[in-house]
Amino acid sequence: MATNAGTNKTNKMSVFFKGVKSELKKVTWPTKKELLNYTMVVIVVVTLMTLVVWGLDLVFNALFSIFV
């Protein structure tokens, strides 16, 4: 009985990974140029958001120190 359960689990894993492999073949991967462009966009947006949060932190810190 234990061997049957192990075999069944192995079959399920095998079917799962075959499905994963077939789905990965359907993916349209970005070109190197697209990948570099997307990476630069992410870096710029993260930098801008960091500056916005930092600026808000300074403003709220100054307001807080006035009232306390």
Extract the tokens encoding 61.
Answer: 């810190």
Phi, psi of 49 (to 5 degrees): -65, -35
pLDDT in tens, 35-59: 999 999 999 999 999 999 999 999 9
**Residue at 31: amino acid letter:** T
Extract the tokens encoding 25.
Answer: 């073949």
Question: So what's the pLDDT on residue 3?
Answer: 56
- Report the C-alpha gap between 24 and 1 in whole angstroms: 35
pLDDT above 90: percentage of residues in the chain: 82
Q: What is the 3-state secondary structure (H, E, C) of 23-65?
A: HHHHCCCCCHHHHHHHHHHHHHHHHHHHHHHHHHHHHHHHHHH
